[in-house]
Structure 1
Amino acid sequence: MAALCEEFTLCGLPTGIEGRRQQIGLQGVEEAEEQDTVLVTDSDRTVTLYKVSDLKPLGTWAVKQGQHITCPAVYNHISGEYVLVHDDKVLRVWKDDDVSLDKVFKATLSADVYGVHSLPDTEPIVLFQGGALTYLDDLLANPQQEIKTIVTEDEKITWSEALVYDGKPVLIFITEKHPDWFVYTWRPVFSACQRWRLPPVIDGSKVLDFSARIKNKMVSLAILYSSGHVRQSEVSLTPSDQEIEPELTVSPLLQLPDPVDSGSLIILHDSYIATLTSCAAQQKDRLCIWNTSFQTLQDCKEYSQKTWTQLWSHDSKLYIPHANSLLVVRYTCEPSCLASALGKGKGTHTSAPEAVSVINWETLTGKTAPPKSAATRRTPRAKKPPSKSDEQNSYVEIVSDIQTAPESQIPSLVQRVWFNTELSHFQIAISNVTQGLVTRCKREPTFYPQTSIIKLIESGMLSYSLCPDLMTLCLEKQDVQALKLCLDRFTDVPEAVLCLCLKAFLSVDEEVLGKAMIETNTAASYIQESELPVEAMELEPATIMQNGFSPPALEEDSSDAQMLHKMAPKAEIGGSPVSLRRAVLLNSILTSPFSETFLLPPLKDLSSEQVVLLLSYLNYLYKKCNENFALKLPGEERLSVTQILDWMNLVLDANFTVLVLLPKAKPLIRNLQKFVRSQMKFFSELNKIEGSLTELQNTQMGRQSRGRYSIEVLELY
């Protein structure tokens, strides 16, 4: 018996990025040092190490902007290092304590790399696009060595996998030269690759994916076709002396119910395979586990059509990029037998409560039992507590009703979750109901019960991991009220989503802000709205420039404070560059938890107008703190000077080049520069006073040795 078990979100994936970096899934999910850790390589520039059981990132690394990772990063089990290739032929090797990939080992190779494969107790193997293979340590010893081309002209590698046979690595890769497909196997004991030809596809369908496993001292190769057929072939691992290129024999393995447009498959066990398929007609992607021995479906999950049909398997877990998240689905595989295949084995179960069905055999045979009379009914002495299945059915029924009920009835359906006071899995019920609402909102663009969604968020039972699509939906609907509640209550919001909220808060229209119910009482004590537009506040100082240069007096330290006071318009000193409601929303971003390493990359995607507006607001907040000599501003957010400075540094680090080249940002940068300079002078004087007071304290300790009368002179400057 095989089954899909619990599902959870490992991390969020960046979306909505322009150009080449638009989200198209992931490049790879590879095992790291421990069984419970994986390396996730995104579609462009970033590699992140995750502790799966803790849902915790242990480290992240990114190549420079303009560079692109071209094959997934892997872990070298021999040296304890990480390896990746960017821009096809630049090899990088680093360790856990390395922070920047710019400063790690770099080697430029003489040929383009297709991928790097790593196995336990084995040096990683580098597969070049020309079909040549070499161990990593041999390649690092001479990076510019000549790389031979194994494949023929116009032959392109489309898939590869590393296996273990008798404790030694076996690498198999498949090439396409339309309309032909070829299979290559490589073992270190042989000097060259062996090549076989796959038979042509007869029914006109396309080859979608491959998976391989060592079985009976041969490579068992499974092939998924767009027709829904899964076929298998066995590839020998012993060298052949035939001069004629042998053709492999392909036999049927499994038939899926329907043809598919795209798909992926993985061999989980000798008798089980997992498939993730997409069909435009069904509008859903399906993750299934099949028993190939008895041709039966063991378990199935359905997803909205945003999985990119990518599938990885490590340590009894399946990894699926879905929408904005990387999902992890645990699975179990027990020895295959006829009883388990039919669902009659001991301990067999279904993974979802809605999958359970009860058949009334008496109704089917035409024999119905007479109803019990009132005299024969027994009155129970005590009310039986609801079972776990009853509790599950209660909120499963609510989720089912939500999918079809009119929008006016949604609040009463959601309220039923609170009325069921005996429900022990309240958090699970809340998350299921929320996900049901989100699913229907995606299916019906005009459907959006804002009041019910806000009530569910305010319950305090939700988190980003429990319903990752919720904030994405709120961003699409520009529901700033719900987004602020999510930021205030969720502690696991990914940095990429945090930046998407920041972009939305900076660019949303004032008309939308005016309709949102946002509490502004506490922020009104220090946010004073300006009557001047932001553009006028930023560009007014530029009128003092003479022939393209600032007056010489601006560069003199002695006149910094005076010139700043003269140049700054009254609105910049006394008024906020953003409205009161927008300021409250931005404060919820500034007080959210984040990691600098993960926040810097998405911050680079802010537009120049958004960067200038955000910096202007941060500058305003910092001046407010200095005016009041306060380390924290009033309000529920308790916005501190440290948080303001941290965000100011991050925004400047991520967009400094853009700000330097942007004409309208120069006055703001100049003001920040002069303000920092004055602060440095101020703290320098404070350090002098601290030193003088310390010296005074030391002199007071020796007063007992002096007489009754003495004159002491303390020179501070």
Structure 2
Amino acid sequence: MAALYEGYTLCGLVPDNNAHSGIQGIEEERDSDHVVVTHGNRCVTLYKVSDQKRLSSWTVRQGQALTCPAVFNRLSNEYVSVSDHKVVRIWKEEDVLLDKAFKATVSSDVWRVHCSGGREPVVLFQRGGVRLLDALLSSPQQDIEDVLSPEETIRWSSDVVVETQQCVVFTTEQKGQHFLYLHRLKPNSVLRYRLETDQPGHAPLSFSLSYRDGHICLLYLYPSGGVYQSLVPVRGLGGEDGAPPLPLPRTLLLALPVGDGLLEAASVLVLDEAHVAVVGAPHPSAGAGKDFLCIWNTNFQTLQAGREVVGKMFGQMWTFSTQLFIPHGKTLSVIPFQCPRSSLAAAVGKLRASTVEDAPPPACVASWNNVLHGDKAPPPRVETRKSSATRRTQPATASTLDQVLQLSKTGPADQVQKGVEGLLSMADLQDLRPSLGQLASILVSRSRADPAFCCRDVLTQLLHTRCLCHSVCPDLVLLALDRRDYLVCQLCLQLFPDIPEAVTCACLKAFLSLSDVEAEDMEDTDLEPDSVSFMDTLMSRREKAGLQNGCSPESLEAEPQEETAAVPPGHVCPVGRHRAVLLNQVLQTAYSDAFILPHLKDMSSQQALLLLQYLQFLYLRCSEPPSPQTEGLRGPGLAQVLDWVCLLLDAHFTVLAMTPEARASLLHLHNFVKSQVKLASELGKMEGSLQELSRMKDKKDVGQYSIEVIELF
């Protein structure tokens, strides 16, 4: 069956009003892990989804407005948007100010810029004209034809690549009637169709487009809950060259339960040929509430997965790869999903994982005709040894599960551990996933109520199954901190994908505030081996800074006394090895800037100073050439370290600026970053020179002898 997994916040929202989320659009950038979000009418932001990080942001000046969501042109690695309906803006990621980037004013108002499939961007004008971006920019003031009638208005648009041909699809409304246009490029042609109405006065709430089996599939949702599909032929005769529009047949795919009222802010999205996602419609078993995200199987009319979404819905939804982007309330959430291949067994929830050994021989499969019409009884199914054993162990597994759950409430720790080991060895982890969460919650609650009860090994074993998360067992991290069980704490930070920022900062403060005696005792603690090896490699490197700046080992051997001189600040790790491992785990935990800053501000000045010194050490080490010993080991990257430096300075700027002990670290970081910026600037100049040379075209032969001067800048 389809599944919805635990979601997370990508960014906060500032809704324009009660009906609009403030997001114009979300577009995929270089891959599905990078998206471009157009906030309101002034800001465009680039996010890395997996890290929940904002990478870049661009804003137009006061008085200007973005009237078209930004798109990314993979052919030129440029962003394209439109301001004030007529000003086309093009910029790159390294551009800081939009006003200094390329601008071109066109002769007609633009509706949208579309760019998909790695093709050239296409500009759709408000009166229905379509132009390729390069052709438009070659003559920005060219006349744009009016395709639509005077009272006709575009309501929705998208683009699709059909085989090798780009097509722009958009819907319009005129006096309560709705039309669909298919504009094919190269050669240019326009097909016009009339959409059937659901009820008088009911306009479609949302559209979704896909291409399969030689047809463009258009899905649209009406306020009555009807989800219809229309197949638009790519090569057709639909109302071309002024002919009256032909009716576009439709098929009812799904009738959503809407209760007594009508849908107002809902959206439907095609996930694959058999599954659709619906947001803003009631859950069939949850009453009249409309704050739900559901995945439906259209082949079998079954609800596959559902999740309540807190906050007001705005009827907007986007999908890239296997992730849904949904604005609700004051949050833009990312919700991963999975849609397995559609089958009857999966639709009714009876599909189980099968292997070659489980599959019966082809000769033993009964004929459906014989079974339905009773010609003869189906032959008996030949049962393999493994399938028979699996069926025998299913009731035993259920019995063992009940025993372990009961034992975990009152039994001693050693018996609980034996019961859990036996349970994990008998059953599939996927089948046990909900039960393991229940088991962990029982053990944590018992441990908090009874300090003498210790089940560290059991909890560690459950964590290694990767079936737990913070939302299932929210007190586990706090229990580990209270009991100073740093291995469990590290595993939670490493394996839980949904740790709140408050818990992350609680772990950070606990690690930073350890006393010297506790820090020494920690060196005997068992931690994850790869992360310990990573710190061993960093801390065992030569402390001499000049060794990494071009000096050869031979030149250093001649001056052994100078090599043991005072080490520059930042080259010595300010914390012990094991405490550094735990701090590294915090630095690699996912977070949102807006949510983590308030908790970072609660840190003391001593904690902030120690963290700054450790980040300085990591920054210097990560800036050095990587060593083969660190490849494949768990450790923070340079980008993560820089992000945490920025967070720390944002949270404690005044404290760090006024603390004498922090001055040396700040000055050293400033000088180091300044040198890196200078190096990057020089590399950028070289890159520009090489690009200019590569773009130069061969000139015609001017004779047997000539002198040519090339100006790079």
Which TM-score bucket, shorter chain as reference?
0.5 to 0.7
The structure-2 alpha-carbon separation of the partners of 1:176 and 1:148, relative to structure 1 and needing over 3 Å to count, comes to: same
Deviations 1:538-596 (A, max 9, x none): xxxxxxxxxxxxxxxxxxxxxxxxxxxxxxxxxxxxxxxxxxxxxxxxxxxxxx96649
Tell me the secondary structure at the aligned position of residue 136 of structure 2: helix
Pair 156,461 (structure 1): closer, same or farther in 2 beyond 3 Å: farther
Cα gap change, 1:396/1:261 in structure 2, threshold over 3 Å: closer, same or farther?
Answer: farther
2:331 is aligned, of 324, 335, 339, to: 324
Aligned residue among 195, 199, 209 for 1:202: 199
**Partner of residue 375, structure 1:** none
AA matched with 1:319: F
Say yes or no: does 1:395 pair with 2:437.
yes
How far apart in 1 are the matches of 2:29 and 2:179? 31
In 1: Cα distance, 2:278 partner to 2:183 partner: 27
Deviation at 1:618, TM superposition (A): 6.4
Partner of 1:160: 157
Write the letter of the residue equivalent to 1:324.
Answer: T
**Matched AA of 1:395:** G
Aligned twin of 1:249: 249
Shift of 1:434: 4.5
CA distance in structure 2 between the aligned counterparts of 1:151 and 1:597, rounded to whole angstroms: 54
For the residue of structure 1 that corresponds to 2:277, the secondary structure is: strand
Match of 2:90, SS?
Answer: strand
Q: Which of the residues 132, 135, 142 maps onto 1:135?
A: 132
TM-score by length of 2: 0.56
Matched, 1:421 2:458: yes
Matched, 1:272 2:259: no
Counterpart contact for 2:85–2:111, Cα < 8 Å: yes
Q: Deviation of residue 173 (structure 1)? A: 0.8
Counterpart secondary structure, 2:309: strand
Question: In 2, are the aligned partners of 1:23 and 1:43 still within 8 Å (CA)?
Answer: no
| 1:631 equivalenced with 2:629 (yes/no) | no
Deviations 1:66-101 (A, max 9, x none): 544332222223333221223333222223443443
**2:250, 2:117 → 1: CA distance?**
31
Matches within 5 A, 1:24-63: 24=21, 26-34=23-31, 36-52=33-49, 59-63=56-60
Aligned equivalents of 2:321, 2:56: Cα separation in 1 = 21
1:144 aligns with 2:176: no
Change (3 A) 1:344 1:44: same
* Residue number in structure 1 paired with 2:422: 385
Tell me which of 173, 176, 183 is aligned to 2:173.
176
Give the AA of the match of 1:331: Q
Instruction: Report 1:449-488 matches (<5 A).
Output: 459=489, 470-471=500-501
In 2, Cα distance between the equivalents of 1:92 and 1:456? Answer: 57
| AA in 1 matched with 2:344 | L
Aligned CA distance change for structure 1 residues 433 and 49 (closer, same or farther; 3 Å):
closer
**CA spacing shift, 1:427–1:196, aligned 2, 3 Å:** same
Counterpart for residue 398 of structure 2? none
State the 1:136 CA deviation. Answer: 0.4
Tell me which residue corresponds to 2:532. Answer: none
Do 1:75 and 1:81's aligned partners in 2 also have CA atoms closer than 8 Å? yes
Paired residues of 1:113 and 1:127 also in contact (CA < 8 A): yes
Question: Which AA in structure 2 matches 1:250?
Answer: R
- Report the alpha carbon displacement of residue 501 of structure 1 after superposing the two structures with TM: 6.0
3-state SS of the aligned residue for 1:426? helix
1:225 and 1:454 map into 2 onto residues whose CA distance is 52
Match of 1:305 among 311, 316, 319: 311
TM-score by length of 1: 0.56
Instruction: Give per-residue Cα distances to partners, 1:296-345, cap 9 Å, x unaligned.
Output: 223333332356443222234333345535414142342x3433333344
CA distance in 2, matches of 1:412, 1:151: 72
What are structure 1's unaligned runs of at least 5 residues?
350-358, 361-378, 439-448, 506-515, 526-591, 604-609, 633-638, 648-717
CA distance in 2, matches of 1:432, 1:226: 37
Q: Secondary structure at 2:422's aligned position in 1?
A: coil
User: In structure 1, what is the Cα distance between the partners aligned to 2:167 and 2:245?
Assistant: 20
Residue 287 of structure 2 corresponds to residue 287 of structure 1: no
**For the pair shown, which has the larger CA radius of gyration, 1 or 2?**
1
Give, in whole Å, the separation in 2 of the partners of 1:288 and 1:152: 38
For residues 666 and 607 of structure 2, the distance between their equivalents in structure 1, rounded to whole angstroms, comes to: 15
The 5 A counterparts of 1:6-155 are: 6-7=5-6, 9=8, 12-15=10-13, 24=21, 26-34=23-31, 36-52=33-49, 59-64=56-61, 67-120=64-117, 122-155=119-152
Secondary structure of the 1:262 match is coil
Query: % of aligned pairs identical?
Result: 29
Q: Distance in 2 between matches of 1:134 and 1:94?
A: 20
Given that 1:463 and 1:490 are in contact with CA atoms closer than 8 Å, whether structure 2 keeps it comes out as no
Report if aligned partners of 2:265, 2:280 keep a CA contact under 8 Å in 1: yes
Deviates further, 426-435 or 321-330: 426-435
Change (3 A) 1:455 1:34: same
1:495 maps to 2:498:
no
AA paired with 2:663?
Answer: L
Amino acid at match of 1:269: D
What residue number does 1:188 align with? 185
- How far is the alpha carbon of 1:249 from its aligned partner? 2.7
User: 2 CA distance for matches of 1:385 and 1:216?
Assistant: 50
Change in Cα spacing, 1:393 to 1:111, as seen in structure 2 (3 Å) is same
- Structure 1 residue 257: deviation in Å? 3.2
SS at match of 2:423: coil
2:345 to 339, 342, 345: 339
| Counterpart in the other structure of 1:703 | none
SS at match of 1:207: coil
Letter aligned with residue 187 of structure 1 = R
Call closer, same or farther: CA 1:480–1:128 in 2, change over 3 Å.
same
CA RMSD of aligned residues (A): 5.3
Structure 2 residues not aligned, in runs of 5+: 356-393, 396-414, 513-582, 611-639, 674-713
Change (3 A) 1:150 1:261: same
Secondary structure at the residue paired with 1:421? helix
Cα gap change, 1:105/1:485 in structure 2, threshold over 3 Å: closer, same or farther? farther
* Paired positions, count: 495
* Per-residue deviation, 1:209: 0.9
- The structure-2 alpha-carbon separation of the partners of 1:484 and 1:139, relative to structure 1 and needing over 3 Å to count, comes to farther
Displacement of 1:113 after TM fit? 2.1
Residues 1:251 and 1:644: Cα distance change in structure 2 (over 3 Å)? same
Between the aligned partners of 1:597 and 1:143, the Cα distance in structure 2 is: 45
Question: How far apart are residue 168 of structure 1 and its match?
Answer: 0.2
Listed one character per residue, the Cα deviations across residues 473-502 of structure 1 (whole Å, up to 9, x for unaligned) are 99xxxx998997799956544334455668
Are 1:430 and 1:456, in contact at CA under 8 Å, matched by a contact in 2? no
Q: 1:248 to 1:462 in 2, by over 3 A?
A: same
Residue 57 (structure 1) shift: 5.7
User: How far apart in 2 are the matches of 1:422 and 1:469?
Assistant: 17
| 8 Å contact kept, 1:325–1:468 | no
